[in-house]
Amino acid sequence: MASQNPDVPQYVVPPENRVPVNRYPASMMDIPPSRMFLIRDALKAYREKMGANAVTYDASQGDGGASLPGVPVELLQRALELQIEHGTAYDQPWGTVQFRKAAAEHYWHLDPAAGWGPENILFVQGGRDGLQKAYAAMINVGNKQIGDALVVSRVPWISYNWGPYALGLNVLLAPGRAEEGWRYTPEGIRACAAYAAKDGRGIAGIVLTSPDNPTGRTLPLDEQITLAQTALDAGIGFVLFDWMYHWVTDGGPSDINIVLRAFSPEKRERLIFLDGLTKSLGASNVRSAHLVAGKAIGKYITSQASHGVIPAYYAQAVAIAAYEMGFGRACASITEPTKESRRVLRNALESFGIPHIMGDGYYAFIDCTQYIQAGGLKDSEALLMHLGENFGLAVVPGVYFSDAGANWIRFSYAQTPQVTQGAVDRLFEGLKALVGQAQYG
């Protein structure tokens, strides 16, 4: 029984529930800061050389609120009206009934026959907040142990490498080949499960991203379902569908009901979906996203959020306004110019004859091996400096994502078609210059 002596220290929980002493953080790598500042430095060097008003092109960013119009003013104004009506008191750790209802009915059009409804929706303060909460839930609802693995693609978004690691998951890069866009395969997923088991670890979850960042690779819904079924059958705890880009596609958004109906009620509880306004509405700084998840995941996240991050209402209000308007109409100022730019870039890359991966979303992933070798460059970070300092073009080096992408670059076309064409012209000019150096240097 806990001591009642006010002069003696007292633990909050009994001995059997106390966190055991474990020094695993002492052996962890330091999580590296972003190297994106090198991109700004390269463009700064170009302007110093060519003049302060020299035209530059930023094909590195993934923020439609910076390169395209972002959230329409009428939605921001409507959100302000909703905020005034709502007041400024705390909301629930999962958001508001108003948001849940709008998301379920106007956005996802959740089919009651699929077994999920508004109570499966949890508002989160942006995509990263949602991911961190999902990772923590995978650990604590699943195997309940630190040190398990999280499976991601061979060339993952950089934060997939470090967000889970900070929470105690070891990120495992799935098998994948460049010529197949590093896409998952059922065989590769089963290989991950066996590899982790041989190391004495379980797999807390796997992340399926479509359209993908950084590659732009898009997976058909039936392929995503097959991969998810394979993962669950292989003993992987949870499947996280990151659909932040699924409205920014030529084929339209993914239908969550099709996915839910493809799984038994038991397996359905092991699915998590992440979506939000960041990409499709250019709302990076609104911090508006949500998870759709099974009841155990929802219960855990709600409990933890009650002691942590409780969502802000205005971010929900922007989503409510967009959903009630009809999201296709609300996001047209982002999706339409991006579709036009996608056509411009795809045609240019095919005409130039350079290997690349390009589905939907914001990005193309371009293989620059021959040009890096011709210029005697180390990798795609050196190519960034060449393009930025000499041609005023910013891209993201593939080596920032993983070693498999060392000779690739991520090229963002979340721009107007005119800007995308200008950036493409600079890219080809810079690549040709490296070949010229090799021939005549």
Evaluate if pTM is beyond 0.85. yes
Position 439 scores a pLDDT of 63
What are the phi and psi torsion angles at 363 (to 5°)?
-130, 150
> Going along 323-425, which residue ranges are E strands?
356-357, 363-367, 393-394, 396-397, 408-412
Alpha-carbon gap, residue 191 to 184, rounded angstroms? 11
User: Is residue 215 within 8 Å of 365, Cβ to Cβ?
Assistant: yes
User: Is residue 167 within 8 Å of 416, Cβ to Cβ?
Assistant: no
Max intra-chain CA distance, the chain: 85
Position 34 scores a pLDDT of 80
pLDDT in tens, 150-206: 999 999 999 999 999 999 999 999 999 999 999 999 999 999 999 999 999 999 999
Position 440 scores a pLDDT of 52
Residues 6+ apart with CB under 8 A from 433: 390, 391
Position 37 scores a pLDDT of 75
Token duo for residue 20:
């055991």
Cis peptide before 214 (omega within 30 of 0): yes
User: Is residue 243 within 8 Å of 210, Cβ to Cβ?
Assistant: yes
| Residue spans of the chain under pLDDT 70 | 1-3, 438-441
Which domains, from first to last, does the chain contain? 37-61+332-440 (3.90.1150.10), 73-330 (3.40.640.10)
DSSP 3-state of 356: strand
Strands 271-276 and 238-242, by their bridges, are parallel
Strands 356-357 and 363-367, by their bridges, are antiparallel
Position 436 scores a pLDDT of 84
User: Is residue 386 within 8 Å of 210, Cβ to Cβ?
Assistant: no
Position 4 scores a pLDDT of 78
User: Is residue 31 within 8 Å of 162, Cβ to Cβ?
Assistant: yes
Alpha-carbon gap, residue 303 to 145, rounded angstroms? 19
DSSP 274: E
User: Is residue 364 within 8 Å of 424, Cβ to Cβ?
Assistant: no
The dihedral over CA atoms of 217, 220, 221, 226, expressed in degrees to the nearest 10, equals -90
* Nearest alpha carbon to residue 408 among 361, 357, 359: 357
Of all helices (H) and strands (E), which one includes residue 209?
strand 203-209
* Nearest alpha carbon to residue 206 among 180, 178, 220, 226: 226
Cis peptide before 417 (omega within 30 of 0): no
pLDDT in tens, 81-118: 999 999 999 999 999 999 999 999 999 999 999 999 99
